[in-house]
Structure 1
Amino acid sequence: MYGNSARAPFTEDDPAVEPISPYGASKRAAELVAHSFHHLTGLPTTILRLFTVYGPRQRPGMAIHRFTRKVLAGESIPLFGDGATKRDYTFVSDIVDGILACLALGSGLATVNLGGAHPVSLKELVELIAKVCDRPARVEHHPPQPGDVELTCADISRAGRVLGFCPRVGLLQGLERFVHWFKEQTVAV
């Protein structure tokens, strides 16, 4: 949604007018619909910008799920680009805490970022997943995908100030929880 913004971390007030993918554009379009609905109805509206949510029950097509499955199966992970792109991974329980805090306020807050505030490169992510799985990761390099942004990084100071939001689950701990869940699901099938 922010595109390849020159400024990081991304604040809620940074312009989000040049998304570089249909996904980013659709997120921005949804925000504009919410703003219009608020204007027409007066219904209190809060837009929560969630940064790379992961954890148990996440969609199987997402990177952490796919990479974990591939590492555990001894298969190669397709890595697009040189692995330097960074994402602000946020564990699902931290996101839920932020959403519940927002609902508890009961009034519209405009826009609030919910993220982990510690971007990690794709290369580092693969290494961490391999460490947690206690298996080597094989990587298959591919050209960068069009529409992939170089960095996502949430400025969560507004969320902290207004919601008391403070992510509690670091990436390594979150990956350990995810891999534990993933292995349980694999055994259950």
Structure 2
Amino acid sequence: MSGLQTLVEAITAAATTLYARDVAAHPENPDLWTPNPTLFSPATEEQISTVEQHLGKYLDPLHRELLAITDGWHHYNGWQSFLGSDDYLTRPQFVRSGSSWDELRDANWAFWDAADAPVRHPLPADRTTLIPIALPEEGYGAVSSIVAGGPRTAPGPVFTSGAGLAESFDSLNDYLTAELDSLNQQLDR
């Protein structure tokens, strides 16, 4: 089992426990609480290659690995979902030119530029190298992006912005580790 697989399972377990605890504490309105995370069947190599062809970019190696573990991951941290291969092919925001992803990316770019937080990794000068990996459900939450990879590149940084934050992480693994830490802190309260 890979380290990424272990993280996926730990985050799913923590988020599921948090949901069950919140609903048990307030059973009168379970819709107010963080939804249960949903994993999907792994993406095939053909599906991942089709996404890369559609986007005209190689995916980061850890992003490819995540898709090979679960082809999408709804509500992994409550209100945000990792995109699956079909999302890149069917969601209108990923149509190449004039897309709403361009608008979303530009809005998050402006938010990132205005953030007071120290920048561990500056955003790439070429915005088109950013590939969305996770979007908020119901319009609330952060947008997370990863820099496009290459066939033999090392994992790249993840950028997340929105909902009052702007952060960067060394890799998808580091991003998911921070998400697990956040869920565990919530469970410890």
Task: Name the structure where helix makes up a greater proportion of residues.
Answer: 2
Give the structure-1-normalised TM-score. Answer: 0.30
Rg (Cα) greater in structure:
1
Per chain length, whose mean CA-contact separation is higher, i.e. which structure has more relative contact order (CA < 8 Å, sep 6+)? 1
